Structure 1
Amino acid sequence: MPAASPNVSSALLSQGARPARFSARFWQLAHPLWLCPFRPMFALAMLSGWGLMAAWGAFLFWGWPLPAVAGGPFVWHAHELLLGFTLAAAAGFALTGVPEFTDTPAFAAAPVRWLAGLWLAGRVAFWCSGWWPVAALAASALAHLAFMALLLALLTPRLWRAPERRHLSFAWTLALMMAATAGFYADALRGEPPMRWLHGLLGALMVLIIVAMSRISMSIVNASIDDSEAARRAVESRQQDPEYEATRETRRYLARPPRRNLAMLAIALFTAAQWWEPGARTSAWLALAAACAVLNLMGDWHVGRPLLRPWPLMLYAAYAFMAAGYALTGVGLLTGLPPNAGLHLLTAGALGLSVFVVMCIAGYTHSGLEKNGRPWVLAGAALVAASAVLRACAYALDATALLMGAAALLWCAAFALMSWRMLPVFWRPRADGQGSCDGVLDTPQEAAFASAGSAPQSP
């Protein structure tokens, strides 16, 4: 490729780095918020992440009222965590990841705006269900089911047409989530306790984490291995050693399907048993089996020092919380201890940490920004992890309200920090001049030519 003059490259990079001015309102499709599907969905997730938890903490600490919904405040809390915060994050990831996995164009902004509107309608309608139980619950059910149906309608054709249909598990998992949501509202409208369906939805989300993590980890862990090997080669001056290069290739990380499928099967069996007969000893043993299967899955990650770098370690910690959550649930069911300790390791730990880290990875990468060198991410992940541990300890110690309030405060701090750092990124055009959901450009030269509207030529 012919080298561009320094003055030209600097001018082009300067042009790309300067945020473009825009006059569109945030609800208009011309606004940068709608540049990529993850932007509005991640924005809703991170704002609800601390906003909803702040309301829950105020209820626990000061007795502030929560929306009067079917099933009471604990159902509201679980519903909003799973069908509010997590659903928005999962939709943003799927809408951004599936085009990349299937090598298809990014989704248009118009249906994504519909999804955002349905998500907001679902929140408002559910919160009003204490005043108008039938009408508001029916409206909330329609909003949530329409959200998932539209999401499936967008994703499934691309997943089905992909070679070997390797990513179709996303569609199946979303279909299970939709079935659990329908069951929740069916029970709520009949006046039956609907919490069992939220536990089923949590199981489907654990499966979705494994499905998504297998794709993300292939990039993150192998990038860490590459960085570690590059530093090692620089020290040992072995860049030209063919034998060393051949050895390096054997160190690649692979997310092996047998281990992954075994973990998903064990989680599905536990979820089904707990839905059918909550608290049974069969559920206890299946929970322990799920913990063992997740620990077995984690064995793929043991690649040495590259695992100790921040990004792989944060993703690995999400699996550790998942294994610990199922283990503690199984022990609790066998011994009579409160099962909520294990449940909170799954929700605040595995679910919260994986959502936090994945939003950071996808949010920066697909905004054309380098994700490394951002210490606030590690600090935020530590806050989420500490929140999960405090929630689990709250049920083992005689300070439930105090520890739960402190856990809520740490969780809110993590997602408020994320909102402060990332919302401005989603609110403005890409600094590299690219459109849609393109990843980070590899070199300054590529960024310069991209800003100029042309591509570098091969020699």
Structure 2
Amino acid sequence: MAKRPQQVVPLAVKGVAAGADKNSMPLWAMGFRPFFLLAGVSAIMLVAVWVGIYRGEWIAVAPGRYFDIFTWHYHEMIFAFTTAVIAGFLLTAASNWTGMRTAHGPWLMALVGLWLAGRVAILSGEVMPEPLIAAIDIAFLPALIAAVAVPIIQTQNWRNLVFIVLLLAMTIANVMMHLQAMGIAAVARPGAFFAVYLVMIMIAIVGGRVFPYFASKRLPEAKVKRYPALEIASIATLVALTLAELVAPTALEVIALLAALAAVAHTLRFVGWCDRRVWGVPLLWVLYTGYAWLIIALIMRAAAARGYVMPMLPTHAMTVGAIGVLTMGMMARVSLGHTARELKASKITIAAFVVINLAAVVRVLGPMVVPQKYAACVSASGVLWAIAFVLFLIVYTPIFIKPREDGRIG
């Protein structure tokens, strides 16, 4: 069992006992607050700009000369939007794992400032030296690693070092994208796909830990099953697929086999978690549908490797489907739980859950049904995505900026 230090800072304590006034800047009390807010805002802005550029209507506002338009889209959806969600989640989860407060107050402001600096730098290709742009943007993930790793190492919470490894790998993926921008190596596309698969691995690990727990806590009578061998197989096949995509992207037979094996493992895992009562609880079914998109993506990747579906469709099943749906669901659940609010989705939140799934359906399945309307599917999906996150922010912005309901720090 991991050892803990003799003294740890309590996560949610009365008044100034945790070192801060409970009414003093609640936005900076815990990592999920500013980073989930930034994730919601960036989800809307990045996709709105992308759809406008894709339709040829907003070429004048296209990003600077550092990345080309498509690479900018890949990069910012992964290393701006998705990374903001990851930062908010890990900074908050690490507090639970270790019993220590992670970055808050000025340190959290500094992390947010570094994330924002990366966004500005990416758009400054015409006025800023390329190495400086790369250095500013790349710096965020190592800073996040330090913020999360310190409490994990101090408390010898070795089980969760896996997330540090994944963040280090994501840093490498980000470096790959910048190498192409600087004209050093044409590796932006494999870097982007590597990052997406790393997020899938993170989703699979987190899902295996928290989905059965959330279901059992909300529905004590639910029959949720977990099988150790299947847990290992599901992660192992996904890691193997990730490595195959990175080092042997043309070995399509191998990729098809690994994707199919991963799909089987994750389907069996998913079936074990399922209980019909889950589908009556929005904060649960949104997580389960998000995980279902991961399975759909793996099935489609196997099919794409054999030439049966368009290659980009499984990627968007991962991004719009698995990442989009799951991040919204996790942000909703975490934000309510860590502000001492009732774990119940409002009608607007439920609408957001439905719309984000519709965005994935239109983006992934639409081009399969009406391939001649591919561009229209991209645009419609982008509009639905933006609407979903507008609805999310309507409900959750007040939660992010107000104190906990119980008056504690957090």
Deviation of 1:173 (Å): 1.3
State the Cα deviation string for residues 181-217 of structure 1 (Å, max 9, x = none).
1222223323543111010000111111122223322
Asked if 2 retains the 8 angstrom alpha-carbon contact of 1:301 and 1:307, the reply is no
Aligned counterpart, 1:155:
148
1:367 aligned residue: 339
Aligned pairs, how many?
384
Match of 1:118 among 114, 120, 127: 114
Please name the residue that 1:278 is paired with. 249
Matches within 5 A, 1:364-403: 364-396=336-368, 397-403=371-377
Amino acid at match of 2:169: L
**Contact kept? 2:22, 2:409, Cα under 8 Å:** no
Structure 2, unaligned runs of 5 or more? 1-20
Residue 178 of structure 1 aligns with which residue? 171
Distance of aligned partners of 1:312 and 1:430 in 2 relative to their CA distance in 1, 3 Å threshold: closer
Q: Deviations over 1:357-397 (max 9, x none)?
A: 01101111112211315122221111111111111134332
> Structure 1: where are the runs of 5+ without partners?
1-19, 23-29, 230-250, 437-459
The counterpart of 1:358, out of the listed 330, 337, 350, is: 330
Could you tell me how far apart the structure 1 residues matched to 2:229 and 2:110 are?
Answer: 38
Give the alignment's Cα RMSD to 1 decimal: 2.2
Equivalent pair of 2:336/2:342 in contact (CA under 8 Å): yes
Query: In 1, Cα distance between the equivalents of 2:214 and 2:130?
Result: 41
| Structure 2 Cα separation of the partners of residues 309 and 424 of structure 1 | 23
- How far apart in 1 are the matches of 2:73 and 2:262? 25
Number of the residue aligned with 1:224: 218
Q: Against the structure 1 CA distance between its residues 254 and 147, is the aligned structure 2 distance closer, same or farther, given a 3 Å change threshold? A: farther
The one-letter code matched in structure 1 to 2:301 is T
Task: Give the whole-Å Cα distance in 2 for the aligned partners of 1:46 and 1:257.
Answer: 35
Q: 1:350 to 1:157 in 2, by over 3 A?
A: same
Deviation at 1:95, TM superposition (A): 0.3
State the structure with more CA Rg.
1
Task: Give SS of 1:386's match.
Answer: helix
Q: Judge conservation of contact 2:102–2:148 (CA < 8 Å) in 1.
A: no
- Deviation, structure 1 residue 163: 5.9
Q: Is the 8 A contact 1:224 1:307 kept in 2?
A: no
User: In 1, distance between residues paired with 2:132 and 2:293?
Assistant: 35
1:98 aligns with 2:91: no
Query: Is the partner of 1:399 in helix, strand or coil?
Result: helix
Report the Cα offset of residue 139 of structure 1: 2.8
Q: What is the TM-score of this pair, normalised by structure 2? A: 0.87
Change (3 A) 1:164 1:47: closer
Deviation of the 1:161 alpha carbon:
4.5
TM-score scaled to structure 1, two decimals?
0.78
Amino acid at match of 1:139: L
> Identical aligned pairs, as a percentage?
26
- Structure 2 residue 396 is matched with structure 1 residue 414: no
Q: Does residue 1:138 correspond to 2:131, yes or no?
A: yes
Over 3 Å counting, the alpha-carbon distance change for 1:402 and 1:140 in structure 2 is same
| 1:420-445, Cα deviation, whole Å (9 max, x unpaired) | 11112212233432212xxxxxxxxx
| Inter-partner Cα distance in structure 1 for 2:45 and 2:356 | 15
Q: Is the 8 A contact 2:75 2:177 kept in 1?
A: no
Give the Å deviation of 1:311.
Answer: 2.2
Alpha-carbon contact 1:121-1:140 (below 8 Å) kept: no
1:390–1:406 Cα contact (<8 Å) kept:
yes
Counterpart CA distance in 2 for 1:47 and 1:373 is 20
For residues 28-43 of structure 1, the aligned pairs below 5 Å read 30-43=24-37
Quote the residue 2:238 is aligned against. Answer: 267
How much has 1:78 moved relative to structure 2?
1.0
Q: Residue 144 and residue 262 in structure 1: after superposition, are their counterparts in 2 closer, same or farther (change >3 A)? A: farther
Alignment partner, residue 329 of structure 1: 301
Closer, same or farther: CA 124–106 of 1 in aligned 2, 3 Å? closer
